Amino acid sequence: MEKVKSLSFFFPAYNEEATVESMIREACRILPGLASEWEIIPVNDGSCDGTGVIIDRLAMIDSRIRPVHHKMNKGYGGALISGFSAARYDWVFFTDGDRQFDLQELSLLLEKKDETDLVLGYRRHRSDPVHRRINAYLWGLLVSLLFRVKVRDVNCAFKLIRRDVLKGIDLTASGAAISTELIIKVHRAGFRFLEVGVSHYPRLSGLPTGAKLPVILRAFQELFRIYGEQDK
């Protein structure tokens, strides 16, 4: 595969001291083979463990590591918005910091870049507890019914987007609805998207926050706000 000219990679990290260093080091190993210019933007979303210290130590070694630090936790959507805002290069890729995805499979998304504006990964076999898989299915069904857009895996945290597309899109969701908002607003603006299957692995450390009741309630609140905005 021919290298892309430039690529920004970011990921949100909230109390991920067990995985954040290996995540960054793996990205430093993989990205040179995929892009002529690249940067890594770890978004420390108000972590209260050693995540921020680890990120800053690595940034002192390599200037292409450009940390963003939130003094307080802004939520998943807030972290993604900060990552998008900080990205400087032609293509922007993001995933999660919990190491449930294989960074090498970014190449699968890049292979499709000339065919579309947004490449959405979908988990071929989701390695999550049953209740999270059920929640994801129901969420996807609701998104399809509300917006008439069919996506296999709305919240899959493995996405690649042209940076130019982001210039005309205002993302506001602070929680888990951010992925839905991104897809819907890209679609409304007339841009294209396609889907690519990727691997998914069990979480080996840290605690997931996506299934907590306050997070779920905020996601629904933001989803219906996005739905109400579509006729404005």
Residue 40 has pLDDT above 60, yes or no: yes
Mean pLDDT, residues 148-177 taken together:
93
Whether CATH 3.90.550.10 fits 4-229: yes
pLDDT value of position 192: 95
pLDDT surpasses 60 at 21: yes
CB atoms within 10 A of CB 45: 26
Helix (H, G, I), strand (E, B) or coil at 135: helix
Residue 203: predicted pLDDT: 76
Is residue 60 predicted with pLDDT exceeding 70?
yes
- Structure confidence at residue 209 as a pLDDT band (50, 70, 90): low
Average pLDDT over the chain reads 92
Tell which residue, 134, 68, 124, 79, has the closest CA to residue 100: 124
pLDDT higher at 137 or 101: 101
Residue 231: its pLDDT value, please? 58
Query: Residue 206's pLDDT is what?
Result: 53
Q: What is the mean pLDDT of residues 31-43?
A: 98
Average pLDDT over residues 96-118: 95
Domain boundaries, the chain: 4-229
How would residue 156 be classed by pLDDT, with cut points 50, 70 and 90?
very high
What residue type is 193 in one-letter code? F
Q: What is the SS3 string spanning 47-104?
A: CCCCHHHHHHHHHHHCCCECCEEECCCCHHHHHHHHHHHHCCCCEEEEECCCCCCCHH
From the CA atom positions of the chain, what is the Rg in Å? 17
The predicted pLDDT at position 133 comes to 84
